Every structure is written in C-alpha cells, then in structure tokens.
Amino acid sequence: MAQCNINGVQILFPFQPYPVQEEYMKKVIECLKKKVNGILESPTGTGKTLSLLCSSLAWLESYKAQQQLNIIQHSSNEGAGILNDIKSVLSGLVGSWDSDSNFMVPRIIYSSRTHSQLSQAIQELKRSNYKHVKSVVLGSRDQLCLHPEVSKAPNHTAKVYMCRAKISSKTCPFYMNYEEKILSKAEYQDSSVLDIEDLVTLGKKNMVCPYYATRYLNSRADMIFTPYNYIIDPKSRRAHGIELQGNILIFDEAHNIEGALEESMSFQLRSYDLALCITEVTQTMEMIKDFDEKFSSSDTGAPDFTLTDLSILKVMFCELEDVMDKEAAEISNNDGSKPGDYMIEILSKVELTAQKKEVVLDLLDKVILYHSAKSDNPWTSKGTGLQKFSDLISVLFSRTSSGGYREHNFKKEFSAKYRIFLQYETTNKSQTTIDPWAIPAARSKKKPSWKLDCWCFSPELGMRDIVDRGVHSIILTSGTLSPLGPMINELGVSFPVQLENPHIIKDNQIFVGVVTCGPDGTPLNSSYQNRSNERYISSLGRTMCNFCRMIPDGLLVFFPSYSVMKSNVGFWEENGIWQSLSGLKPLFMEPQGKDAFQESIEKYYSVIKDPTSKGATLLAVCRGKVSEGLDFADENARAVIITGLPFPPSMDPRVKMKMNYLNNIAKEKKGLYGNDWYVLQASRAVNQAIGRVIRHKDDFGAILLCDNRFKDKRIQSQLSKWIQGRINVFDSFGPALKNLSSFFKSLDQLPRRTKQDSALGGFQIGSRVFNAESTQEAQGNTSVPGIRTGSSEVSENIFDSYKHLNTVGVSTSNMNKSSSIFDALDDQSQPSAAQASKPISLAKYNSSYFVNNDCDSHVPSTSEKANDSKRRKISVQLRQAVQPDDKKSVTEMWKSYLLEVKTLLGLTEQYGKFCSSVKDFKTSKNVENFAISLKSVFSAVPNKSKYLQTASLLVGVQDRDKFLALSI
Ligand code: SF4
C-alpha cells in the first residue's frame, strides 16, 4: 500500500501510482476542492476507476474530519484556538467550505452504464484501502425482487405495481419488518460493500427484501453505486430516492452520456398505446362496478377514485385518439416532421396542460395500482399502457415543476430543442413489445397504426436539470471522450477541469495498421455503396483468414452493424470462407438477445482459457455489448479488427433531424455541424471497440483498421489520442501481414501454450452450436472443413502440417516422423510461433468464385517471386514423387501433395471431403469407395488425372488400376 500526497490530500493507493494515475487523481481532487465539474479521459488500462475511487474517497475522509471538528467546535468553546488551527489546515486540504452546510457531508454517487460495469468498480473498491467505506448498489425489482409471484410478472411496470399492492395488503413476507431484520443482522452492518448478488443472497437467507434493503442502506451510505440512467432519468431518480443536492456525481463510461441524456428527455406515443389506455380504463371501470355491487357497504379495498374519474380519463383518451388519427391521416400530405412544441399543442386540445399534470398523474397512479393488483388474468397488461402515458406526461412537463415556470418559455424550449416525427407503422411491429393477449379490441382494424416520436436533441436540457439541483461537482470520465470540445459544447455546462491522459503502455506493446486492401488487392471499403459488393466481402473474409493465422489466442472482429455482420457471414458460409475461418479458430458471433449473449461470451472465454486451444474469434458489432465495457484482457483479445466505419443510418429520420438541428444552431453556438457530428458518432464507436484490446500496462495487442477510409486524416484525428501517433498505413496487403507477424514475433510475452487441435469444437452463431451433426444435416450430409467431424480433425491436422511448411513448401519440423499421407494427416505436433506466423501461399484456382482471391497474389514483387518459386518447386516435387527413394522424401512428397490439393481446392467443402476420404480409406481400405469419392472431389479440376494418379499411390499395386479406372 502506497501513500501519496496529492494537492494536500493523503491518498492510500494499492501500489505506487504511475504518473498518469497521479495526474488523474490531481484532477479529481481539483474538481472536489473547487466544487467544479471535470471531464477526464484516461485510456482503458490506465487504472482510471481505481484512481477515481481512491482520490474521491480520500478527499471525502478529509472532508468528514473537518465536519467532525465543526461539530465539536459547535458544541464546545473549549480549546477553540487549537480547533481553529486544525480547521484551517483541513479546509486548505478539502477546499471551499459552505457555511450553511457545515454539518452536511457530500455523498459520492458513482454511476456507470451497466450493473456489470458497476460490479467491476465494486471489485476495485474491495481491493483498495477504502473498502471500509459504507456503500450500496442500487438495482431494480427486476434484479432484486424475491417474491415468487411478483418477480415473474411480465414487465417492470407490473412488478412495481404488484409489489406496491403486496406491501399495502401486507402479503409480501420479505417486506415484513425488513428494517428490524437489517438492524439485527451483523451481515448487513459489518459488510461495507454489498453488491447485487450479496443482497440477494442475504435477502433469501434472512427473508429480507433486497430492493427495500438497498433503499434502507442508501440512507447510511457514503458511496452509492448506480446505473447512470437512474440519475439522468427524472422518473427513475424519484423512484430510487436519489438526492442530488450537495452530492458528488461521477459518470464513469460517460462516452455515451449525451445520447443517454437525450433519450431520457425523449418519448414516443403510438396508436397502440392509446388504444391500450382506453382498454385498461374500461377494464378498471368494470372492476369498480363489480366491487360496488358486491361490497358497497364495506370500505376494505375500495378504490380511491370514482367511476366519474375514470369516465373523464376515458373521454380524454378517446378524444386524443381522435385528434391523432386525424393528424395521421394528413401524413401523406407532408413529410411527417412537426414543430418541437407540437405535443404540447395536441395535448392542450384535450385540455391536458402543465397546470393539470399533477392531478392527472395522481389519478393515473391510483388507477394503474388498482388495475395491476386486481387483474387476476396473468396475461392482461397490468397498467402498461397507462404507465407509458404517465411517463410521457412526466417527461413532457418535467421542466414545469421548477418555480420559475412560464408557459411561454416552456413552449419556446420545446420548439428549440425538440423535433417531432409522425409516421405510419405496420400493425405487427407495433405489437411486438407488448403482450399479444392484451391487444385492445377498442381500435378498429380499419384505422392505420401510427407512431409519434418526440426527440430531444439537446443533452443540455437533461444536464441542466441535474446541475440546477445544486450538485457539488460532476465528473465525467471514460477511456474515449475526445475530442472534448464538441462534447462540452453539446452538454451546455462548464467543465473547468479537463484531462486527456496518454496511454500507460510502450510503443512495442501495440501495433496499429490501416489495411486498405485485401490479399487480392480489392479495396477494403465498407461504405453503404460497397458493402454488398461480393468481391469486397470475399476479400475481407480472406483478409481475416490471413490475419487469423498470425494472431495468437483471442481475436475480436467488429462490424458496423448487425445487418452488415449477418450479410457478410451469410456470404462467407455460402462460399467456404466461413469454414476456413472456423478451421483456424472456433468462431462466435455476438447475438442480440441478452441470454444468448451471456452464453456466447462465456463459451468464448472458456475456449480462450482452455490451454489446449488455438484461441477463438468473436464477431461483434460496434456499439454492441462486446464493444461497451466487457473486459478482454491479455489472451482474451490479442487483436481487434475493425471492418468499417459505423456511421449512424443516414436515412433514419432521427439522424436526419439531428443533423438539421445541429446545422441550425451551429452558427449561433459555434458548435458542431451535422456532418461533424455524424463522423464523430462513427469514430467514437470505433474508439470504444478498439479500447478492448489493451486493458492494463503489461497487455499487448494489434489494432487492424480494415477500411481504406481510415487513411483519411480527418478520421484519424478523431481516433483516441493514444493511437494517433502509432498508425501505420498499408497500401498493399503483404507488408501489413509481414509487419503484424513481426510485431507478434518481437514480443517475448507471446503466450506459449500447448495447443492441440483436439480441443476445438466447431463454431457457434449466438447460442446455436454448429457441430458435426447439425452441419451435416444442413448441408446434405457433406463434411465441412473446420467442423468437428472425423474429416474436420483431418483438415485441422492438415492445416497444422501446412503451417510447418517453409517458404518452399517443405516441412521444417518432424520431417522424419511422417512416412505416409496418413502420418501427415495425423501429425498433430505444434509449429513454433515463427513458423505459425508465416504467410501461407495459395495458388490460384480456376473456380469462378476464387479467381483473383489468392491470399498472397498481391503482395509486393519480391514476395510474388518467392511464392512463384514456391509453387514451381511443389510441382517439381510432385512429378518426381512417383518413386520416392527414402522416408524423408516420402514425407516431403505427401506434405507437398497435401499443400497443393489444399491450394487447388481452397478451403471449401471439397477439401473437407478429400480429407475425410483419405481418412476413411485408411481404416476401411475400400478402394472402390475411395476412388469414387476422390473422383467427385476432383471432378471440376481441369488436370484432375495428375492428382488422382498421385493419390493412386496410396492403394496397393494390385488395386491401382482399379482405382484409376474408377476415378479418372
Ligand atoms: S417487497 Fe420486495 S420482495 Fe416483496 S414484492 Fe416488493 S420487491 Fe418483491
């Protein structure tokens, strides 16, 4: 444990901090002492989270010491002289002191995007010297509810209201006396840091509701961990009882904060939602009617609203539906865009105004509670529609709660900062997110469905809402915030403290290459116009194959979007490239579903962890879960390939409107123009993805930017500062491959594993594992190279023996070990790192698809010559191989033959079939089947007799004529 003094504050750090960490902590202390905001960038792997926690908590402890002195001084005048002296020293350390908050200590609200990121921060806290600090992590009922019925409710709204009903009816055993139980259980008192899992475990053991436990523990915590949408979304903030005044707000992983702020102030209304509201109100009217008839004399369980209240609500919804249907009918006459204050105007037509919002919200709350509690049918919507409408009103009128509200200003603000878009939508789409059993009958099928989006384009609105609540300081931090200027401009509040830290690693730990073309010279460019170009997709696949051979362990490949990833994979599957890739390392794809995602990632990590594996390749998307916050330290990612620039969809109305909005305000605010913002969105997403590769000071890896647009200096200038000075641009493929190979060879740390092919097991798309059975079934029972079948084993082995070959196609290892093709196929010995990283030469094959896709055909002239001579030597060997005269030349002959066959057939289905035929013959000795099978394998090859004649050497002299007769 090291102790360091930063700006007068004593900070305990687990080790002597590095200069970048000291610089970072200095800035944190500066923010807290001066009570100002800070925006601090420090690349992933520089110990940002640990520095942030230690420095802020060290400052807080000093602050608390000063507060205790104030209390002592307040209660006694004795020793005032000494106390004054100490107090003046302390106030120099902790900064300005608020005279009217002498006894209030700020709390630190540490937020990040997801609970898994919060868990990582909590782990950092646990290994620091501040683990004694009382902390709590906030979660939702989705994660924390233990009630068997409530926890299975179909959605969050239903859980909230069902929980409230259970509490009011005293029927949740976990809620009963939960405060006393917490006070009496040492586990709750002694543990300073309780994360979600801890709370759930303790809750089950002690019959204490974890959700309400967090709310209780919140009151005594000095540090609160929470997802940042609980802070920026005013509804969530209220629901979780988060108090901002006087507290320190830390937003970690804040690179998406502008988008999250915009989202929290945006809302959507669909025709389906209104119809659902009408249905739910009608159902509640029915419930009340029954209740009045049966229990009119009793007060028990009586609703605290009347039929008249419900009638008013129903009329309002019906009128609103009418107004909106008429508006939607006009869509064909305009482009659907509406002025920013459109929604205020529409609601005023049904007499719903800011002045009435409290009354309406209160009534909606009561109706939702009643509806969700009294619905016996588990398939009913349980107030979902009404809740959505209630949220809409809360957001729309959120700024009218402050004392200085003026209707004129309110409308002006909406006109300036919102853009609205009304469009038709298909019925099926509109109903996908809500329980189909609850589809309201009230809406006529003849009426077209519509959707109204109210988009807030000013993150400033949400940021100001937070600042106006009197926070002590706001610290935004991430590994990828730069360029800082545009971000600060968009947020609209001042950030006097700023930092852009360099990376902690040395130059030899990172390789950054812009790869402008594939092995066949095809330009790599994933622009919208080019991304369907089959030649490009094929070249990109072959680029990946080549790099995959060089890269040890884990490889992450990022695509601009799911649709691009899926279409590329579809093409590669149809054309054999997918099989090649999966033969090199097991392949995983990032799925969109939450459960499937978790399963895939766990499998990826476990394959990487397997000491016998070759590593794995994970195909993912920029802005997806893999690119945001998952840890891929060390062998989990030795390289990141970026296959394109993930620009937002330019035809999306929201994107178009945002760009127009920025263009309109750019001049007056001197801010970003629409185009600048558009490019920035892509480079930020790229920065986030490439941030996966270096996770700590000893980590190393490569970043391969496989799109020629990365040559553009403007794009490069928006990449993270720490890679900008390290970018190598390659105008041809050979040098890129060579440099990448040299990079990995130069690293002493290169993992040296005992890799055996036997550990590899097929590949996976999402949760679907492609194994021998599934693939054979899908492909008409034909074996595929790289898939785990008898033949796949062979093909993998062939690949390894292929890797042993030196530049003239002759094996440099175990030459004397193999004496036949069977031995060559079975040879599982591992090449050295240097051998494994040699480029593999593939001769051109006349299949229409692979024409000009030779991996090395476009490397510079010296390599071309080397490869040409390699091919010539191979064919010479084959011609001479008819009567090999010793064991060594037999080995060479068969290895060369395998190489040539592999080169000839490419990594296709036919090559897999060839391997399995040889393997089968080894065990069955069935000459007839072997001949027929190889006949089919070489059927499309022009000079097939040459290959079949050589293959005939495998059968005995007595059967050779039979073999040749059947095969040629
Ligand atoms: S009190 Fe807790 S356990 Fe009970 S229903 Fe509510 S959230 Fe669930």
pLDDT value for 164: 86
Question: Which ligand 1 atom lies nearest to the CA of residue 178?
Answer: 1
Is 145 annotated as contributing to ligand binding?
yes
Task: Tell whether ligand 1 has an atom less than 6 A from the beta carbon of residue 684.
Answer: no
Atom 8 in ligand 1: which residue has the minimum CA distance? 145
> Rounded to 5 degrees, what are φ and ψ at 282?
-60, -45
List, in order, residues 6 or more apart from 333 with CB less than 8 Å away: none
Mutate to test the pocket of ligand 1, among 143, 144, 145 (most ligand atoms within 8 A of CB): 145
- What CA–CA distance (Å, rounded) separates 216 from 203? 13
* Length of the chain in terms of residues written: 968
Average pLDDT over residues 119-126: 90
In the chain the first and final C-alpha atoms are separated, in Å, by: 77
Task: Retrieve residue 910's tokens.
Answer: 């036919």
Question: Which ligand 1 atom lies nearest to the CA of residue 173?
Answer: 4
- What CA–CA distance (Å, rounded) separates 430 from 159? 23
Do the beta carbons of residue 159 and residue 145 sit within 8 Å? yes
Structure confidence at residue 691 as a pLDDT band (50, 70, 90): confident
Average pLDDT over residues 523-528: 94
User: What single-letter DSSP state applies at residue 711?
Assistant: G
Q: Tell me how far the alpha carbon of residue 179 lies from the centroid of ligand 1, in angstroms.
A: 14
Task: Tell whether ligand 1 has an atom less than 6 A from the beta carbon of residue 158.
Answer: no
What pLDDT, in 10s, does the model give residues 45-85? 888 999 999 999 999 998 888 777 776 766 665 555 655 66
Task: Tell whether ligand 1 has an atom less than 6 A from the beta carbon of residue 200.
Answer: no
- Report yes or no on whether pTM surpasses 0.75: no
Do the beta carbons of residue 107 and residue 128 sit within 8 Å? no
Q: Does pLDDT of 173 surpass 70?
A: yes
Structure confidence at residue 839 as a pLDDT band (50, 70, 90): very low
Is 172 annotated as contributing to ligand binding?
yes
Q: Which residue in this structure is represented by tokens 């109204």?
A: 452
- What CA–CA distance (Å, rounded) separates 738 from 550? 9
What pLDDT, in 10s, does the model give residues 182-196? 888 888 877 678 889
Task: Say which amino acid occupies 424.
Answer: Y
Do the beta carbons of residue 703 and residue 690 sit within 8 Å? yes
What pLDDT, in 10s, does the model give residues 810-820? 233 333 333 34
pLDDT value for 240: 86
Question: Which ligand 1 atom lies nearest to the CA of residue 150?
Answer: 5
Task: Tell whether ligand 1 has an atom less than 6 A from the beta carbon of residue 161.
Answer: no
